[in-house]
Structure 1
């Protein structure tokens, strides 16, 4: 597979680095020589200096022989034009563009329909809003990903003191869970991600990732000893694209929402567009303002300004005042490992959301969606089982799947199936699989062709 990436920023750099490990042919185009130098020094990929929306540059970089073009610069216009020219220069190339501006996303049919149509518009702002809404649906969860059109969830939780599953081998989990359909997908212990076997024991300090039918989610949480109080009071810091979209999503009777922004003109726009949320003008780093707004009594504070330092500080101040949960927006990947240790509950990252949206187009086999687990340590994939795949037509216990990978569950028709050892996967089953990053290539092969692993 030959993949051309236009843009050597954070998104382009991390996709290139990830794909280079998987032995794919990657070419990165950017007009910034310093950005290209960083890519070439850190990854085994080709680089090409020039504008990604120049037909000449695209042609000289070999777009005609490419399978996928990813346009992921910070400019919507460059991304769109790069895809348009690449579609003219190459036959049967898949075109993906990162586009954030409302002026384009509201009229995306104009650039996705016709010839050459962009196959997928990736809007990281909307992906972040969806991530926040999922986290709000399970208070206390550290991470939530959805598959099979929302019917299957992969949820990460920290277990409370005295949880009945602590100290149990996974083999014995049904003594606590009963016949509810659930499978433990991963354990995070001492910052290390483990894809467990039935002999592994759950420790009290573990973060536990489990997959289940969304209809069983609440009962499973109860049997884990988790009884989260619902979120009703929300304080959003930042009225930009993400903050506005989020406030719009919460503009209903269930939530009492306040939205804070530093720009008076933006506050005027927000007040006109929103019905129930209260719009405030001020600096989120002003502790007196936060006290006046009784932030310490709120269920959730979400800071999604364009400035990472403001987001982090606002959440730390809110947490110090007593806010129950906090979510911060982070763009710099280097900051991610620091968020939990300093006391912020959750992070959302538009760039990581964009990467997740892109990856399933790159995977071999009929992969429908992907999600990074614990940053980039592991990946969950949703894939359609094909009749020529290694995973089809034999009991699960006889499938020699690569170590560090696990078939969690699947959807067959309208039914969500938590498999046992004698379960046989059939063609067109919608599988949810988790794998460590090192084994992704082997999982792709198993989904795509008949192979055996020893």
Structure 2
């Protein structure tokens, strides 16, 4: 499929990496020749220098032969104009725009047809939703939802004191006392698709599939004591900080934001009247101490610098804050991040790219495409939700009789309202939802792709 990516920043680069690896014909458009040159050296792509909202530049990029335009520049207005121009030049084209400004949220939804948008993505808003979910369910590093939130894949790091250390997966049910499935384990930076004989070790990051209501049971039975989050400190008054504080105050949590810029503090205080806004340097230990960091249930680091977020997070851990959430711009050094005590690591651009990749795969395969796509295990595995339709093969056949590709695992089957953690006798039928986890290099575009 031919795709134009307008804007070769972090999101554009991440999309280029993912989509070019999946075999798409990518053309990058950016006004900066240096970033385009860097992309040419790293990927097999075409580039065009110039204003992506210009008809002339879009013509140079081959708009008339393009199936999808992704506008991901740093300016919302340019992204909107780019999509409208592209649609005017090629009415059948699909368009995706990154829109970050909270002021545009309602009108983007109401005027989607006017702006000629197939999909609008907001990395900051997605990150805020993800962080809120983590705060509402402390004890997990990450949680990915499927089937409207009824099934989840949750990540746990095993400390040496955890009851699951040195336990084989065959013995798991006797300890957790609820039905769960370990679908992946990240050990020493490498992802493993475990079998029943696999023995869990201290330091493992374990990805567990379970119905949402089983997650609390799981935490309780493995000895992970959590308390409800009431007081949250947010370091950085960015767009994510605004979206998150807005959501948390509606949930009844007490929120304190530390922001360095005076103008932004005034703006946040007017927009969030029930949130405490402090002007100051969030990297100052004296300031954090004076603002009672030791009394906080959760610390969320959202400054614009990854390094500062990491330092604040480690200081918060030292002060005894039970839940830490750290924002990073890109997971460049997964092994290094894993060694640091950063709590849950959230990457807004990764969340945004997951949404776009799901849309691209759906375009390629209109019937049977993944409903949900999540990247897990530091990008080494994917978890996808598929719907079983009339074209799905092997319906009503037990899983033990099927030849499923290596490194592909059926993690759950949802029959109507019934959630099943599958075994060899399980089967799916038309109308079911199936959650699949894969660490294979082969992309799964539809459920039939899991079979050899």
Residue 172 and residue 307 in structure 1: after superposition, are their counterparts in 2 closer, same or farther (change >3 A)?
closer
Match of 1:295 among 269, 272, 293: 293
Q: Which residue of 2 aligns with 1:95?
A: 95
Measure how far apart 1:324 and its partner are: 2.7
Measure how far apart 1:162 and its partner are: 4.7
When the two structures are superposed, what TM-score results if normalisation uses the length of structure 1?
Answer: 0.91
Residue 319 and residue 434 in structure 1: after superposition, are their counterparts in 2 closer, same or farther (change >3 A)?
same
Match of 2:336 among 323, 335, 338: 338
Aligned pairs for 1:256-275 within 5 A: 256-275=254-273
Aligned pairs for 1:3-152 within 5 A: 3-114=3-114, 117-152=116-151
Match of 1:401 among 401, 404, 427: 404
Structure 1 runs (4+) greater than 4 angstroms displaced: none
Distance 1:278 1:226 in 2: 31
Distance 1:398 1:2 in 2: 39
Structure 2, unaligned runs of 5 or more:
none
Match of 2:385 among 357, 382, 386: 382
Q: Is the 8 A contact 1:366 1:385 kept in 2?
A: no
Distance 1:391 1:32 in 2: 51
Residue 100 and residue 27 in structure 1: after superposition, are their counterparts in 2 closer, same or farther (change >3 A)?
same
Is the partner of 1:247 in helix, strand or coil?
helix
Is the partner of 2:425 in helix, strand or coil?
coil
Residue 240 and residue 200 in structure 1: after superposition, are their counterparts in 2 closer, same or farther (change >3 A)?
same
Q: Is the 8 A contact 1:135 1:142 kept in 2?
A: yes
Residue 268 and residue 382 in structure 1: after superposition, are their counterparts in 2 closer, same or farther (change >3 A)?
same
Q: Is the 8 A contact 2:189 2:335 kept in 1?
A: no
Q: Is the 8 A contact 1:261 1:280 kept in 2?
A: yes
Match of 1:221 among 219, 222, 238: 219
- 2:140 is aligned with 1:155: no
Distance 1:50 1:428 in 2: 47
CA-atom RMSD in angstroms: 2.3
For residues 340-364 of structure 1, give each alpha carbon's deviation from its aligned partner in whole angstroms, at most 9, with x where no partner exists: 4232212222211211121111224
Measure how far apart 1:414 and its partner are: 2.2
For residues 253-278 of structure 1, give each alpha carbon's deviation from its aligned partner in whole angstroms, at most 9, with x where no partner exists: 74232111122233233233334332
Is the partner of 2:125 in helix, strand or coil?
helix
Measure how far apart 1:198 and its partner are: 2.5
Q: Is the 8 A contact 1:170 1:200 kept in 2?
A: yes
Structure 1, unaligned runs of 5 or more:
none
Distance 1:189 1:340 in 2: 10
Distance 1:223 1:171 in 2: 17
Measure how far apart 1:12 and its partner are: 1.3
Measure how far apart 1:182 and its partner are: 1.5
For residues 22-80 of structure 1, give each alpha carbon's deviation from its aligned partner in whole angstroms, at most 9, with x where no partner exists: 22222222232221222221122333333222223223322333332211121212211
Q: Is the 8 A contact 1:63 1:90 kept in 2?
A: yes
Measure how far apart 1:336 and its partner are: 5.3
Q: Which residue of 2 aligns with 1:322?
A: 320
Q: Is the 8 A contact 2:189 2:334 kept in 1?
A: no
For residues 265-317 of structure 1, give each alpha carbon's deviation from its aligned partner in whole angstroms, at most 9, with x where no partner exists: 33233233334332212111222111212212322111212233432333233
Q: Is the 8 A contact 1:159 1:225 kept in 2?
A: no
- 2:429 is aligned with 1:431: no
Residue 394 and residue 66 in structure 1: after superposition, are their counterparts in 2 closer, same or farther (change >3 A)?
farther
Aligned pairs for 1:161-176 within 5 A: 161-176=160-175
Distance 1:108 1:357 in 2: 17
Distance 2:151 2:164 in 1: 22
Is the partner of 1:167 in helix, strand or coil?
coil
Measure how far apart 1:374 and its partner are: 2.6
Residue 111 and residue 65 in structure 1: after superposition, are their counterparts in 2 closer, same or farther (change >3 A)?
farther
Q: Which residue of 1 aligns with 2:422?
A: 419
Q: Is the 8 A contact 1:394 1:424 kept in 2?
A: yes
Distance 1:386 1:3 in 2: 28
Distance 1:59 1:194 in 2: 46
Residue 61 and residue 265 in structure 1: after superposition, are their counterparts in 2 closer, same or farther (change >3 A)?
closer
Residue 57 and residue 337 in structure 1: after superposition, are their counterparts in 2 closer, same or farther (change >3 A)?
farther
Distance 2:220 2:433 in 1: 27
Is the partner of 2:283 in helix, strand or coil?
coil
